[in-house]
Structure 1
Amino acid sequence: MLKHKIRKKILKIRDEKYSKSLNIDKKKILKIIQKANIKKPVIGIYYPVNSEVSTKKIMEFLEKKKFTISLPILKNNIEMEFYKYKIKDPLYINKYGIPEPKKKTKVKPNILIIPLVAFDRQLNRLGYGGGFYDRFLCKMGKNIIIKLGLAFSYQMIKHVPVEKFDRKLDVVLTDKEIFET
């Protein structure tokens, strides 16, 4: 119940304060990826909806850097898998209103750029409540080398309630600063 109240409050604030002019520094994301020294980065990223931090320019930037980009497709109402995506590829809207790639070349990302509702200094993430990312992270285990959350600075809260299935992030990048483990 506490998570639900926090979600509702932060989403209301995010919807009110949302501005397309608030940007995440793409070069900082590149530095985080390069620091991990991964030979062939496969980046799982989300396509932004509503008032989420926009990833459109980030995807364009990473594609120009020749990284493999992938977007999630939700399966069976509980799972998600990632499929290659290029900026010009067609998308369709799933039942949750989230764009998914039409082309179906499955990949296993080793870097995840994850949406969130709220986070704390300990890098706990509060998502939307479906558990898709937590289940995916659990399934992938150590194959996910970087778990990077994107947020606006006002999405940081004092304490995210944590349950046993919740997975921490390695980095949260906001429009103002970077939080790392």
Structure 2
Amino acid sequence: MVVPSHPTTGDKLALRRQARQHRQAFVEALDPEAKSLLEQQLAERLKPLVSQSRIVGGYCPMPAEISPIPALDVAKAAGAVIAYPAFSSRHEPFRFLAGEPSLSGLWATLEPPLTAPHVFPDLVLLPLVAIDRRGTRLGQGKGHYDRVVADLKRNGTMLIGIGWAIQLIDGIIPADPWDVPLDGFASPDGLEMFR
């Protein structure tokens, strides 16, 4: 299925803008110590899932995103392989590559070298702008994750969105045909499984 680069739903655009502003205001109000403490709490909430996983997919956070790194450290300590998205082309979906994110990729995020092993995570921690209680994820709007989550899901990967508690909304995020509902959402406040 072809996933457009930008959502066509006006409601989704407005919701993304509002959720980004809300997230940014929340993060700006945190001092570095409080932010670090919340990210450690997130790692504790995720510990039961990451400790049982063989291969965990994560990401390098953008400034307003919660960092999965403390949770990935827990997974690594339990013996899991850690993988990050890596792009070989701007026109191809990313692949999860095992290894440290040490190089600046095509989209100015750190990723493992393209020579690192391609792996298939059994658990992926996904960044998001917002998520509803049906598991509908609102991402940054470029469709990078939309292009890979359906294949991950078909291969049995557990998909857990992670973010600040304020990113779980009570309303409904309009779902497009290519949207794959996530299995759960984790924040420093807890882990909520949707299915």
With structure 2 as the length reference, what TM-score do the two structures score? 0.81
> Contact 2:68 / 2:125 at 8 angstroms: preserved in 1?
no
> Contact 1:70 / 1:84 at 8 angstroms: preserved in 2?
yes
Higher strand share: 1
1:5 and 2:11 matched: no
Within a 5 Å distance, the mapping from 1:135-154 to structure 2 comes to: 135-154=147-166
Question: How far did residue 180 of structure 1 move?
Answer: 1.0
Question: How far did residue 33 of structure 1 move?
Answer: 4.4
Q: Pick from 135, 145, 163 the counterpart of residue 133 of structure 1.
A: 145
1:164 and 2:177 matched: yes
104 and 164 in structure 1: CA distance in 2 versus 1, 3 angstrom threshold = same
1:79 and 2:89 matched: no
1:95 and 2:106 matched: yes
Q: Distance in 1 between matches of 2:60 and 2:26?
A: 20
97 and 175 in structure 1: CA distance in 2 versus 1, 3 angstrom threshold = same
> Contact 1:134 / 1:166 at 8 angstroms: preserved in 2?
yes
Match of 1:29 in 2: 46
90 and 74 in structure 1: CA distance in 2 versus 1, 3 angstrom threshold = closer
Identity of aligned residues (%): 24
> Contact 2:153 / 2:159 at 8 angstroms: preserved in 1?
no
Question: How far did residue 54 of structure 1 move?
Answer: 0.8
Q: Distance in 2 between matches of 1:64 and 1:33?
A: 10
Give the secondary-structure state (helix, strand or coil) at the position aligned to 1:138: helix
Q: Distance in 2 between matches of 1:154 and 1:128?
A: 16
C-alpha distance after superposition, 1:93-143 (max 9, x if no partner): 223221111252211112111000001111111011122212212223421
Q: Distance in 1 between matches of 2:101 and 2:163?
A: 26
Question: How far did residue 160 of structure 1 move?
Answer: 0.8
107 and 164 in structure 1: CA distance in 2 versus 1, 3 angstrom threshold = same
C-alpha distance after superposition, 1:6-36 (max 9, x if no partner): 11111122122113242243233121346xx
> Contact 1:112 / 1:144 at 8 angstroms: preserved in 2?
no
Q: Which runs of 5+ in 2 are unaligned?
A: 1-9
179 and 9 in structure 1: CA distance in 2 versus 1, 3 angstrom threshold = same
Give the secondary-structure state (helix, strand or coil) at the position aligned to 2:86: strand
With structure 1 as the length reference, what TM-score do the two structures score? 0.86
Give the counterpart letter for 2:44 in structure 1: K
* RMSD, matched Cα: 1.9
Question: How far did residue 49 of structure 1 move?
Answer: 1.4
